[in-house]
Amino acid sequence: MRLPLKIAVAGLGTVGAGTLQLLERQAELLAQRAGRRIVVAAVSARERRRDRGIDLSAVRWYEDAAAMAADPEIDVVVELIGGSEGIARLVVETALEHRKHVVTANKALMAHHGTRLATQAEENHVVLSFESSVAGGIPIVKGLREGLAGNRLQRLYGILNGTSNYILTTMRETAHEFAEVLAEAQRLGYAEADPSFDIDGIDAAHKLAILASVGFGRPVDLDGVYAEGIRHVSRVDVDFAEELGYRIKLLGIARLTEEGLEQRVHPCMVPRVTPIAAVEGVYNAVVAEGDFVGRMVMEGRGAGALPTASAVAADLVDIAAGRDVPPFGVPTSNLRTIPGVPIDRHQGAYYIRLMVVDQPGVIADVAAALRDERVSMEAMIQRGRAPGEAVPVVMTTHVTLEAAMRRALHRIAALDTVLEPPRMIRIEDF
């Protein structure tokens, strides 16, 4: 057996502690699978004294994680600090510069600087691995990059944010409103005190940008990702979705069209019979559609200390065994220039919900606005009568251009009989 692989861990939050726990508990197994031992030689974290349930007395402690990343004894730096800038970025750049392999769980860093870091890793002939940055324990980066190496993808989509999926699932199951469910999720620790990152689609956008690069062999393009969260999804919409045979999911979607690559994160109505509709609660799932493999789905726990540690360990075993893959599947100089398609150019079907005054002629005005923008209605539901009062009217459209849909909604919003801003949810027919 070869010399041990010496690793340094920067950041000992829940994922860091989970990783140390895994490396200790599975030490023998990992050594057999990697052909050598994986040894934690140094750690760095904000608080030295916190009890993490792991004996760190034999491990070198660094106050300065960047100094640790330059330690000549270290083979691999595991970055579990988080954040796209500051110390996390410095640690990764310092490690690569000093020709150390890097394993990172940092989706913000990879989404913002992935291509540049991959280039830096290539120039220094070291590995940059980030399986744990997307979809927790699901080996999706490996699955796409190596497992589907023989395919060109047409579409890649998934449930990438467990918090949002938990909230949407609970809204449906309990028939509570968004705000109540969010408050409960915060109480249970499933949502942060400041939930914006999760429920506004930012976290999912980071992950989609990374996956789209891996799947389509294109430089990471976070700016090209349209992101819309779930704040505006109401119980009424959840109920109408069921009635129409759909389920509402926050999806990240990357799709190759004739114009280029769409990258978008937003709530979707998906047919209840499609596999992704059945992925509930804190689970994540990713679907890849390749020209040879057809549809391939991977599902599992999208977050949490232990699943994330599982992904970190997989990256470490590959490095210890000497298995090397370019971060985005091909050398960065070979990444393809595929233009991004802005959301205005998106073509799809739409679900629209209006709150209107229940009086004759309202639907005629709405229909005229749609006609004027050449949006073709597919179905309309008006349930319940309350003359002179507010009632919901729901419509679905045939495939139409997003820009036209938006113009139509603008006209509709201006009608006197329409009482609230119209709600729009895109329909995806998988």
Residue numbers annotated as active site: 207
Q: Nearer to a second copy by C-beta: 114 or 422?
A: 114
- 38 backbone φψ class: left, alpha, beta (φ>0; ψ -120 to 50): beta
The residue within the footprint of a second copy, chosen from 195, 224, 229, 300 (CB under 8 A), is: 300
Report residue 296 as tokens: 């391939």
From the CB of 377, what's the least distance to a second copy, in Å?
A: 32
Q: Is 305 exposed, middle or buried (0-12, 13-18, 19+ CB in 10 A)?
A: middle
The residue within the footprint of a second copy, chosen from 200, 203, 221, 318 (CB under 8 A), is: 318
Nearest to 15 by CA among 390, 387, 351, 312: 312
**158 touching a second copy, by CB under 8 A:** no
**223 touching a second copy, by CB under 8 A:** no
**219 touching a second copy, by CB under 8 A:** no
**292 touching a second copy, by CB under 8 A:** yes
The residue within the footprint of a second copy, chosen from 5, 8, 12, 30 (CB under 8 A), is: 30
The residue within the footprint of a second copy, chosen from 275, 379, 410, 420 (CB under 8 A), is: 275
Q: Alpha-carbon distance 54 to 245, whole Å?
A: 50
**422 touching a second copy, by CB under 8 A:** no
DSSP state of 147: I
Q: Nearer to a second copy by C-beta: 198 or 318?
A: 318
Size of the site for a second copy (CB under 8 A): 58
* Contact predicate 391/385, CB 8 Å: yes
From the CB of 156, what's the least distance to a second copy, in Å?
A: 14
Taking the CA of residue 324 as centre, how many other CA atoms within 13 Å lie in the half-sphere pointing to its CB?
10
Instruction: Give the strand order in the sheet containing 5-10.
Output: 60-62, 38-44, 5-10, 76-79, 101-104, 128-129
**2 touching a second copy, by CB under 8 A:** no
The residue within the footprint of a second copy, chosen from 48, 50, 116, 152 (CB under 8 A), is: 152
Taking the CA of residue 332 as centre, how many other CA atoms within 13 Å lie in the half-sphere pointing to its CB?
16
Q: Nearer to a second copy by C-beta: 233 or 316?
A: 316
Q: Alpha-carbon distance 367 to 364, whole Å?
A: 5
At residue 212's C-alpha, the angle toward residues 131 and 340, to 5°, is 155
Phi then psi for residue 151, to 5 deg, are: -115, 150
Q: Nearer to a second copy by C-beta: 151 or 234?
A: 151
Q: Nearer to a second copy by C-beta: 299 or 402?
A: 299
Which residues, other chains included, contact 137 with Cβ-Cβ below 8 Å and sequence gap of 6+? Answer: 300, 301, 304, 306, 307, 308, 310, 311
Nearest to 131 by CA among 266, 286, 5: 286
Query: For a second copy, which stretch binds (CB under 8 A), given 88-96, 168-176, 249-257, 275-283?
Result: 275-283
* Contact predicate 227/187, CB 8 Å: no
**330 touching a second copy, by CB under 8 A:** yes
**290 touching a second copy, by CB under 8 A:** yes
**303 touching a second copy, by CB under 8 A:** no
Q: Alpha-carbon distance 202 to 190, whole Å?
A: 16
Q: Nearer to a second copy by C-beta: 138 or 427?
A: 138
**245 touching a second copy, by CB under 8 A:** no
Q: Nearer to a second copy by C-beta: 104 or 400?
A: 104
Q: Alpha-carbon distance 280 to 176, whole Å?
A: 16
From the CB of 114, what's the least distance to a second copy, in Å?
A: 18
From the CB of 122, what's the least distance to a second copy, in Å?
A: 12
The residue within the footprint of a second copy, chosen from 53, 72, 150, 360 (CB under 8 A), is: 150
**309 touching a second copy, by CB under 8 A:** yes
Sign of CA dihedral 403, 406, 412, 414: negative
Query: For binding to a second copy (CB under 8 A), which residues are involved?
Result: 18, 22, 26, 29-30, 32-34, 131, 137-139, 142-143, 146-152, 217, 275, 278-279, 285, 290-301, 304, 306-307, 309-314, 316-318, 321, 323-325, 329-331, 334
